[in-house]
Structure 1
Amino acid sequence: MGSIPQVSVLRGPTHPLPRVRYLSRLLEDKVRECGNSTAIIYKGSDSVVHKLSYGELDLATNRLARALLARLAPLDGDVVVAVSLPPSEALLLTLLAVWKAGAAYLPLDQQAPQRVHHILEEAKPALIITEEAEDQLDEVLQCHNVVSFSTLDTIATKMAATILSDSEVLPATAQPLAVVLYTSGSTGVPKGVRLPHAVVLNRLRWQWREFPFSPTEQVCVFKTTLTFVDAIGEIWGPLLHSSPISLLVVPREITKDPQRLIPLLEEYKVERLLVVPTLLRAILLFLGLDSSQQLASLKTWVCSGEPLVVSLAEQFLAHFRRRDVALCNFYGSTEVMGDVTYHVIRSREDLAAFDKVPIGRPLDNTTIYLLDKQLVPVPVGEVGELYVAGLNVCAGYVNNRDPHKFIPNPHTVDPDMARLYHTGDYGRLEKGTVLYEGRTDSQVKVRGHRVDLAEVDAALNKLPQVDKTAVLCYRPGEVDQMIIAYITLHPNVYISGEEIEVALQSYLAVYAIPQVLVIDSIPLLNNGKVDRQTLLKRYAEKAGNSTQPAAVDLDTSGVSDVKAAQCLLKTVAAVLGGAARGTVALSANFYHLGGNSLNSVLTVSKLRDQGYIIGITDFISAQTLKDIVGKMVPEDNVKEVETIIRNHKEKPFVSEILSSVHKSDAYRIITDSFYAKGDLEQCIEPRIPRCEYAELLDQIWEPLVRAQLSFVLRSRMTGQIVSVALGFDVHEEPPVQLSGRLNIVFEFLEFVEAPIRDEKLPQGKGKVLHGFMMGTEQTLSAAENVAAVQAMEEEVLAIGRTRGFTGIFTTNTSPLTKQLSADVFNYRVMSEYQVNKYVAPDGSKPFSRASDSLRVACCWKEI
């Protein structure tokens, strides 16, 4: 009997949760045991240290909760109170009072007024508590129910200080909310994550069990911005635990400054600290410069928010050589209460077995699934999309946005595991622990290849000259898409971005090498994470949307036709624009400068407009721009132009009419091309499963073979099939019945093609050849891809002429095929349609995620 294959599913320990409706009840219980112990420590603007005991905290918040209830109208369901206060004892009093009143708190960051405006319009908080007086409000807060903390505190002095009974607080729902946090949405519009008390409790109880407070631990710190999920554990982990731990409130200006933060941690003998890797690196750098401050008390370091790279973990271990110091790598997101897996590093042995720092094993009452597109667990060792089930999963988004992110769990009947949250991350299970394999949305397409930005970042971190990195994709999916990497260098290191790019060739495929930009420092957000939007804006200004020409070296020595060389250099500089990766010179390679399939065709077209003819194959196969000059011919030199055209037809491919022997290659290439590269298909969420392309091909395969209008191209050099072109007589296409999401694409194509086909093209069989689908092998380089697409276009024209068709009809979505059709083969555009404006028969807009630049063109060419 065969063995049962191991699949990528990990379940954390099971620990039943106590029935606690409101977390504030835990503090009320704690007061009975340690009411005189210090709860909050805060140094105000007057530099005076303020302290508040647990008993004082409880009494003050009971009064404040009653003051809140007096300002709130009777409401059903979850009541949300927005809070816009700086880190202080007033903030903590407010948060606890909100809970005691039976409401959930919603942090606001008024430094982003447009974001706040969206949040208030969507979440509709019943009340907003601010630092400012009611008559000094920002414009964004006006017209809302707003009260200042000082006003609320004045009202509270007249209120009773006894514990509120269940009958006094707001009516409870089945799973009352504790916190609403807004996180960045995939569309750029923030989404409100709804976190119930039970979810927060599950995370806290795991923390207390796995990382218990030591007998010597007296003070913890609250330094994380309140709008980020990690602040929940920082605040409530100490305050709600039964131990008499004090919470030190760290002002924002100190959090970002290691020179001020480290002495504060030493002063209070802090034993645990939560940091993003960027801040950890800064702290280690400072500790290396000042041997007098070594944070001897700090034993538990938690990294969260960004991937922890091996080099930083090793730097940490090299500095802290004690076995009682642990570096913990936490993984999660706001939707799962911050963390769902963790890995503890105490020595190099905890890293040695892996090529990256693991994200570890699941927390209590949590299950991790690594699934394929059909939601089937992948075998151990394979990469799958990471899903989470269990008591750490939030209650969805405000207004039920993006419900597809939370789906029924088909793998269990356990009610605690009934819902799956789709993280949007990739993971891999190895040696019983999970390794992070990047974001699904960080996997971008470059020349048809999938590139993981996390892999690019890891390669940069292997270079000894590189200190910090930020890898981004500029305008993903657009014509001017570019992978860019901003880096800082170690002190006293001098190396150019171009030299770093050369070094990366040892680690990355050519198509994955980013444009490297060396800067002095990488901008950070308030929470210590990289400010990616600022960097993208900086690059956009540099690239100038390609309106500014690139730097040009007009040295034409060594070429006989100086005029042609200057024309080429200026044209390439104009096409690549500010995004060019280096100086445009005759010694440069077009693709190393940032050229791709599309702009290579555009360059050939622009050269033709200026009176120079060169075959596309000659252009893309040239090693340098100087080689291109030698193949450019003035169009008035008729004989040489005819030679170019004749040589251009001697393709490196052999065409074979489609037959049953090509079936497996045709299915694979078409499926891979449209699943990984289809411009329409990439806009649909959830994505179209691969199996639906096989369903389509099963229905049309026999008619395709009978029609004898389809073909494959085989490489003369390797003998391998590299591309497939499928065609029909437009008036003899077989009916197709699709049950899945691919039907959305076919409904759209029928919508744009039918008016042209039925009203503007010749009628009757044998008149119109329809270029139905084209696909190329994913392993082709940019140059090979252009050559294959051009060869297929030419073969379609040849078949059309041989079979006596009047013309060719095709619908192009790819920028490359549109460019070839218009500029090389002289197709006429019959209609053009902006994809994201399409409304499906059911009233939905399935391509709403598409950029405004994605347009389909219905084209016609008489032959």
Structure 2
Amino acid sequence: MKKPISEIKNPLTETIVDLFQQHVDEIPNEIAVVFKDLKLTYNELNLLSNQLAHYLISEQDVIVGDLVGIMLGRSEMLIVCIMGILKAGAAYVPIDPEYPQQRISYIQDDCNCKFTFNQAALDNFLVSKAKYADNAPSTVSLNPNDLAYIIYTSGSTGNPKGVMIEHRNLLNYLLSVSHYIDTNSNNSGCFAHLSLSFDASITEIFLPLIFGKKLILSSGTGLEIFDDINLFNYAPFNFIKLTPSHISILISVINKEARPQLANKYIIGGEALFNYHINQFRSSSIDAIIVNEYGPTEATVGCIIYEFNTFEATPSSESIPIGKPISNTQIYILGENRQLLPANEVGEIFIGGNGVARGYFNREDLTSEKFVPNPFDTDTKMYRTGDLAKWLPDGNLLYFGRLDEQVKINGHRIELGEIEAALIAIPQIKLASVILSKLDTSEPRLVAYLQPKDSNEKHPNVREELSKIVPSFMIPNIFMWVNDFPLTTNGKIDKKNLPIPEYFRPDSAPVLRKPRIEIEEKIAKVWGEILQVSDIGIDDNFFEMGGTSIMAVKVVAEIEKNTGKRFPLSVLFEYSTVEKFARLLNEGSQIYSDCIVPLKSNGNKVPLFMVHGGGLDVLYFANLSKHFDEDQPFYGIQGIGSNGFDDWHESIEAMAAHYIQAIVKINPDGPYAVAGYCVGGIVAFEMTRQLQELGKEVSLTLLVDSYADSSYYYKTHKQKKLIRYYHRTRRRLTFLKEMLTSWDGFKKRFNAKKEYLLKRQFDENNTMSELDALALERFVEATSMMHGILDKYHLKPQSLKVDLFRSKDHMDHQLAPTHLGWKKAASMGVTLHNIPADNFDMRIAPHDKILARMLQDILDKRHANI
């Protein structure tokens, strides 16, 4: 395991400008910056930034210590501006042009920038730049204690706060992580794609330039940040910096271009890093160094790092350690009384050393609160992070989350108080409270609770009003109006007892038409109870009103109980409004449908047929269908016999044969793209075998989180039973070993898993309602039917190739971690694709889109010539 650099003597008498100038003198004609087709050499960057410095000094009266704003998009001139501002002796203040005007105005007013480079100001300079000298300003003498930049981060008082970073802070960080750059290689420095307002961009921008490397700037934005030909034209890179959320986006681009060795190092920060993130690199055969970098803006980008190779064993299936402090940095884990804590005790992280910022701009009160005297190093300050961690026995740190209400979403650090203050600024809102909730998904969501000033006044469009004040990443997902707030004994809002987030009728919903007949009233009542929506109209779509596949199971179970009729979940997809569903029930006909469910029947591409999982239904494929190309047909295959539920299949072979008859009617000539979810992967594999025996062409066999148990490869019941006993014993021994070596760790993991499963399936009290019991009974019955025939199945190796999509649940599978048992079955190979979600979450936002796009890419590549 590679360790971070230990204490080194950084030449902190120099500045960024000094180190950059060394490479201007040594390699003036080497490329420094690339943006699209534009290139700047080190000499050109130097001359342009000198001219810009003279412009600031002579035209804008900028002197040492002044602040200059930068409100520009990514381009080669962005780097010229940064270097020119520093050469003028000023500090730069990045302001994202995508921020709402109110936030931009606040930052500009708060820091009182002497001048701000927006696009118009930059154009004015470029028109007149010829009249400014291109030598370094002789009147400027930089000191390591001078400010280099101020970055504004989310503030708990309602406004962002500016963190002041000096040249010495910046240089200490950059030289401490100098090993990110391989000075002996010809590789490019890095591919920079992060916002200048995000301090992680510091590494991208400065590290290549102070070591004479190429800085490649991304021309993409949003989800297209890696859709830039220069990402491959200038590869390999010394490093690429990412948040965990970026990993799946980058990996999909790498796989698409078949360029696994894009960078030597991947620096990952902004959010907690887990093994399942790293497994995405491994499954794509990316051999690289991963650096888990931790650090608040107040400690200059990163102050703790943990390095390992993608193919080295990582400590556990939990969070990866954040590592050890960088050079000239002291980390203290302190208790409630600010006493040092021993290893394995969780406490708050305090940071000391050369990376600690000067403080907050114009906020002496907050500076004295967060930057406190260091009792362990006289006459120095330490920064109180509000983060929790503990020392591991090997000297590394393990992160445990936030102490206060500051949260991170997609790499952005957010203080809930700032959102609350922005909400209260809306005239119609009296009081607001914001929480982070996970609801029915593992993805965190912001929920805002709002108390109106006048209960009789029409509620404003809060989302629209808030977007004028805060960035998009700070806008809550759900807004709930309340009459009053629960309070604690000391009069504060009791956030633990706020009502459970619920769905509110959107403006886009149909005009409410209330139920007219008894059957419509009964259906609306069932839907309303399960959706937790008070008013359900007969035109409201179950799924558009927030319905999920789990809710659909409950709806079907309740209606089956009341009517005595049995029908598949797919009818809820086909008859998705109260009016349509009532008409179906009123007709009194036999309620079952064919095994084929046309989730998306339009399009002229080769259709994709996906077999159900253990629950036999395909309703949870509905969200997936929305993210395929417009002309991509997508059919679900639900678990129904040839005569509905009364005629169950005798074997997997019979089930596959029945499904083949159905898909051949839709696509008589082929080729066939067959997929299977979970246990449906076994059926899809058998369908492929039978189709090939029939002389049909199978272009793709896609297995989505499907596991081929080793017992399937044995023919007799006795053999199957013996091998299952062997694996069951092996698992129990593993659990026993874990219990004996670390009982506390085992108990914590076991209880956490139990709580997760209960909350996933039932309510916050971990109790089962009558509907839950009915739904569970239906699911157990379905899985029992499925496994009854699955246990008899003999899986025979075939001469074919499969694509396997693994969830993070299966990436650490004890018995078959790599190919989930399929390598023996598919003799022509198994292509792995990792999905950064568990088995449940891969079917819901945002992971459903990722899965759908991965499937679409494979379909398009395989059928390119059809």
Decide which structure has the larger Cα Rg and report it. 1
Give the TM-score, by structure 2 length: 0.49
Give the TM-score, by structure 1 length: 0.49
